[in-house]
Amino acid sequence: MAIEANGKTFETDEEGYLTNLAEWEPAVADAMAAEDDLPLTEEHWEILNFLREYYEEYQIAPAVRVLTKAVGKRLGKEKGNSKYLYALFPYGPGKQACRFAGLPKPTGCI
Partner 1 sequence: MAGAEFKTPELSEFIEVPKLVEGTMEHITCFVAKPDHQEALGFPGEKVENWKEVAIDKMGDLLSRYRSFQVFMDACVKCGSCTDKCHYFLGTQDPKNMPVGRQDLLRKVYRRYFTFAGKYFPKLVGAEDLTEEIIDDWYSYFHQCSQCRRCSVFCPYGIDTAEISMAAREILDSIGVGQKYCNEIIGKVHKIGNNLGLPGPAIENTLEGLEEDVYDETEVAVKYPLDVKGADILLVTPSADFFAEPHVDGLIGYGKVFHEAGVSWTLSTTASEAGNFGMFIGSYENMRRVSLRIRQAALELGVKRIVFGECGHAWRIAYSFLNTLAGPFDFLDPDYPVPQHICEYTLNEIEKGTLELDKSENDEMSITFHDSCNVARASRMGDKPGGQFEIPRKVIKAVVNNYHDMEWDTIHERTYCCGGGGGILTDDLMEVRVKGAKPRMSAFKNVMEEKGVTHLAAICAICKSQFTKVFPYYGMDMFQIVSVHQLVSNAIVMNRKTPPEEAPGYGEDDDEE
Is residue 22 a contact point for partner 1 (CB under 8 A)? no
Nearer to partner 1, 42 or 104 (CB): 104
26 binds partner 1 (CB under 8 A): no
Binding letters toward partner 1, positions 61-90, x by CB under 8 A: -xxxxx--x------------x---x----
Compute the Cα dihedral for 29, 55, 103, 110 and give only its sign: negative
Longest dimension (CA), the chain: 39
Instruction: Tell me the C-alpha distance between 37 and 98, whole Å.
Output: 16
Query: Contact between 104 and partner 1 (CB under 8 A)?
Result: yes
Q: Is 98 a catalytic residue?
A: no
Do 67 and 50 form a contact (C-beta atoms < 8 A)?
yes
